[in-house]
Amino acid sequence: MCGIVGAIAGRDVVPVLIEGLKRLEYRGYDSAGIAVVVDGAVRRVRRTGRVSEMEAAAGAEDFHAPLGIGHTRWATHGGVTEGNAHPHISHDTLALVHNGIIENHEAQRERLSRLGYVFESQTDTEVIAHLIHHHQSQGLDLLAALQASARELDGAYALAVIDKRDPDRMVVARMGCPLLVGLGDGENFVASDVSAILQATRRVIFLEEGDTAEITRSAVRVFDGAGAAVERGEHLSDVSLASLELGPYRHFMQKEIHEQPRALADTIEAIIDAAAFEPTLFGKDAEAVLRGIDGVQILACGTSFYSGSVARYWIEAISGLPCSVEIASEYRYRKAVANPKHLIVTISQSGETLDTMEALKYAKSLGHTRTLSICNVPESAIPRASGLVFYTRAGAEIGVASTKAFTTQLVGLFALAVTLAKLNDRLGAEQEAAYIEDLRQLPGSVQHALNLEPQITSWAEKFTLKHHALFLGRGVHYPIALEGALKLKEISYIHAEAYPAGELKHGPLALVDAEMPVVVIAPKDALLEKVKSNMQEVRARGGELFVFTDADSNFSASEGVHVIRTPRHVGVLSPIVHTIPVQLLAYHTALSRGTDVDKPRNLAKSVTVE
């Protein structure tokens, strides 16, 4: 969602801000803007639409300055207009960018209006600019005014503020939304995501909840929520610039689908090297935490919810522990019954997903102490708030529709299922060795599935003009049907639903006719014969079937039944391999419909608002 970048330097920072905003585009946004302090004045340019349009406007106005902030906005409060785009300015002196939502913005707006402040936008953000200005007018300096304002705000924010009366510093604050400081040589930066400043530095300080900071060209001072000066460690980011480039691919989604063999190999490396499933995969104290549990509760949203749904099958079957999976935004608002002996597992690619973070906080407030995060972004908020962590090593995922993050999450969750089995004495040495061999084979099997792309492309042409599609699966492959339907919806805008195949005759069969393509995930497993019966039910009603199966399953194409076979059966890890064809089907269908694959309408990458 929204992105922030800021810089203070001895050089013109406008190119740094523009480049940073371009690097943040993948997160999804609807407008962009920058504000700078130069020659004793605040100057601003904002545009709806792409960063390149705002860049052209800034170029035309000849913007150059040593201090500035920039923002990509994904509107939550107030429509997508230039007037609502950030930065927001108060009294022509201070400019501010904000990620998040201010929940008490109405009360603050009334209060500030009574004090004579005039609002120019419909955003919640503008109240912060006026609030800081108000505290300055009471005699506080910029930093103290920000800290006083932060105490009066409810909700979530990452903020960066500059002021023309204070041209040698930038002040920032963080609560509930990520923000980091980049350290340069005689120049410093701020960003919501490290990719925005990698062009300038890899040295970063992650701010913590409630922190504020003052950033000058030569120094960074950080304060905790109580206002006390604190030291926050410096990290060297290992995000590679290459992972942020498109290379020979047409879209990031295509690139990321094809990166899966590598991403999976990197993620399983530690298991293969140890030739064992060790609790230390989840942190050094993991054994003590995992040994005592008597169940698993998974909390996640979107695609991560589907990886959690696959994990439920694995965890119960392999470890014998009960496991439930719940949408984080539902869990966080219901009166849940907590069992502190359950392990809370949150799954989030970005580690910033607000609903998942809040569900984790809620679980802790109910008395849960055993928490594990499966996440792709080191040092992001959710892993930092969790006792145990499994980092997927998918590399930066730029396409809004998640692909390699999903399959690598599945590896982490599989490792959890097997590790729990081992700790519960349900895993013999032979079975452990067999699972390791399955993992070793996995990248190759995924590559074989990727090689099916030409066949899947020809199927995609048949989907181009469709308005609806059904996806069916059973057992551990049912969540893969859900993921396939979600991918198709997200990027091709074709309405797609997934059902457990056995559920068809309880309702959705009524939808089936010649215009309803039905995609079936039908690997050769114990449920294949059942799935075949369900396919007959579809065929008997004129439905056209598109079946993904394995090389060794004994059924073939016929009138109205199209079949693509993944080249080899991969046993327990089959859901991972069967994800590849549904990703490719969605991608090529979207391509032939001409949609914006990497930035589908209305969606954002890191969902940092409710």
Measured from the CB atom, the residue of 101 and 398 that comes closer to ligand HGA is 101
Binding residue (CB under 6 A) for ligand HGA from 67, 101, 377, 417: 101
Stretch that binds ligand HGA, among 48-56, 99-107, 387-395, 461-469 (CB under 6 A): 99-107
CB 272 within 8 A of CB 278: no
Beta strand extents in 81-186 (DSSP E only): 88-90, 94-102, 155-163, 170-175, 180-183
Q: Which helix (H) or strand (E) holds 15?
A: helix 14-24
CB 412 within 8 A of CB 233: no
Decide if residue 76 touches ligand HGA (CB under 6 A): yes
Q: CB 101 → ligand HGA: shortest distance, Å?
A: 5
What are the φ and ψ backbone dihedral angles of 242, each rounded to 5 degrees? -60, -35
Binding residue (CB under 6 A) for ligand HGA from 23, 44, 98, 332: 98
Query: By three-state DSSP, how is residue 41 classified?
Result: strand
Q: CB 415 → ligand HGA: shortest distance, Å?
A: 32
Decide if residue 609 touches ligand HGA (CB under 6 A): yes
Measured from the CB atom, the residue of 157 and 189 that comes closer to ligand HGA is 157
Pattern of binders to ligand HGA over 260-299, x per CB under 6 A?
----------------------------------------
CB 541 within 8 A of CB 512: yes
Binding residue (CB under 6 A) for ligand HGA from 100, 167, 383, 500: 100
Measured from the CB atom, the residue of 126 and 490 that comes closer to ligand HGA is 126
Decide if residue 522 touches ligand HGA (CB under 6 A): no
Compute the distance between CA of residue 525 and CA of residue 300 in angstroms, rounded to an integer: 27
Decide if residue 77 touches ligand HGA (CB under 6 A): yes
Measured from the CB atom, the residue of 156 and 325 that comes closer to ligand HGA is 156
Decide if residue 31 touches ligand HGA (CB under 6 A): no
* Residue 113: C-alpha distances to residues 120, 159, 359, 420, 512 (Å): 12, 22, 35, 58, 57
Query: By three-state DSSP, how is residue 590 classified?
Result: helix
Q: CB 100 → ligand HGA: shortest distance, Å?
A: 5
Measured from the CB atom, the residue of 102 and 516 that comes closer to ligand HGA is 102
Strand 495-500 and strand 468-473: the pairing is parallel
Q: CB 180 → ligand HGA: shortest distance, Å?
A: 16
Measured from the CB atom, the residue of 78 and 225 that comes closer to ligand HGA is 78
Structure tokens of 474? 């059973």
Q: CB 497 → ligand HGA: shortest distance, Å?
A: 28
Binding residue (CB under 6 A) for ligand HGA from 90, 99, 373, 402: 99
Stretch that binds ligand HGA, among 98-106, 130-138, 195-203, 234-242 (CB under 6 A): 98-106
Measured from the CB atom, the residue of 77 and 235 that comes closer to ligand HGA is 77
Decide if residue 1 touches ligand HGA (CB under 6 A): yes
- What is the footprint of ligand HGA within residues 454-493 (CB under 6 A)? none
**176 DSSP assignment:** B
Decide if residue 97 touches ligand HGA (CB under 6 A): no
CB 170 within 8 A of CB 17: no
Q: CB 595 → ligand HGA: shortest distance, Å?
A: 22
Q: Which residue is nearest to ligand HGA (CB)?
A: 1
Measured from the CB atom, the residue of 2 and 446 that comes closer to ligand HGA is 2
Compute the distance between CA of residue 389 and CA of residue 391 in angstroms, rounded to an integer: 6
> How many CB atoms within 10 Å of residue 84?
22
Q: State the burial class of residue 508 (Cβ atoms within 10 Å of its Cβ: 0-12, 13-18, 19+).
A: middle
Measured from the CB atom, the residue of 50 and 98 that comes closer to ligand HGA is 98
Measured from the CB atom, the residue of 50 and 342 that comes closer to ligand HGA is 50
Decide if residue 572 touches ligand HGA (CB under 6 A): no
Compute the distance between CA of residue 606 and CA of residue 100 in angstroms, rounded to an integer: 12
Q: CB 132 → ligand HGA: shortest distance, Å?
A: 16
Number of residues engaging ligand HGA in binding (CB under 6 A): 17
Q: State the burial class of residue 249 (Cβ atoms within 10 Å of its Cβ: 0-12, 13-18, 19+).
A: middle
Binding residue (CB under 6 A) for ligand HGA from 5, 9, 34, 75: 75
**186 DSSP assignment:** S
Measured from the CB atom, the residue of 149 and 371 that comes closer to ligand HGA is 149
Q: CB 222 → ligand HGA: shortest distance, Å?
A: 22
Binding residue (CB under 6 A) for ligand HGA from 63, 74, 362, 406: 74
Measured from the CB atom, the residue of 80 and 511 that comes closer to ligand HGA is 80
Structure tokens of 344? 């809370």
Q: Cis omega (within 30 of 0) on the bond before 87? A: yes
Please choose, from the candidates 210, 138, 246, the residue with its C-alpha nearest in 3D space to the C-alpha of residue 130. 138
Compute the distance between CA of residue 99 and CA of residue 301 in angstroms, rounded to an integer: 20
> How many CB atoms within 10 Å of residue 40?
8
Q: CB 347 → ligand HGA: shortest distance, Å?
A: 21
Stretch that binds ligand HGA, among 69-77, 206-214, 267-275, 377-385 (CB under 6 A): 69-77
Decide if residue 306 touches ligand HGA (CB under 6 A): no
Stretch that binds ligand HGA, among 4-12, 67-75, 218-226, 269-277 (CB under 6 A): 67-75
Binding residue (CB under 6 A) for ligand HGA from 22, 46, 73, 474: 73
Q: What is the distance, to the nearest Å, from the Cα of residue 554 to the centroid of all Cα atoms in its chain?
A: 39
Compute the distance between CA of residue 407 and CA of residue 479 in angstroms, rounded to an integer: 12
The residues that are catalytic are: 2, 605
Q: CB 390 → ligand HGA: shortest distance, Å?
A: 27
Binding residue (CB under 6 A) for ligand HGA from 93, 125, 309, 574: 125
Q: CB 31 → ligand HGA: shortest distance, Å?
A: 9
Stretch that binds ligand HGA, among 108-116, 122-130, 363-371, 569-577 (CB under 6 A): 122-130
Structure tokens of 375? 């996440």
Find the farthest-apart pair of alpha carbons in the chain and give their distance in angstroms, rounded.
Answer: 81
Compute the distance between CA of residue 166 and CA of residue 40 in angstroms, rounded to an integer: 9
Beta strand extents in 179-320 (DSSP E only): 180-183, 188-191, 203-206, 212-215, 220-223, 229-230, 234-236, 295-300
* Residue 139: C-alpha distances to residues 142, 144, 222, 455 (Å): 10, 9, 22, 70
388-391 β-sheet, strand order: 323-327, 295-300, 342-348, 371-375, 388-391
What are the φ and ψ backbone dihedral angles of 20, each rounded to 5 degrees? -60, -45
Contact positions toward ligand HGA, by CB under 6 A? 1-2, 73-78, 98-101, 123-125, 608-609
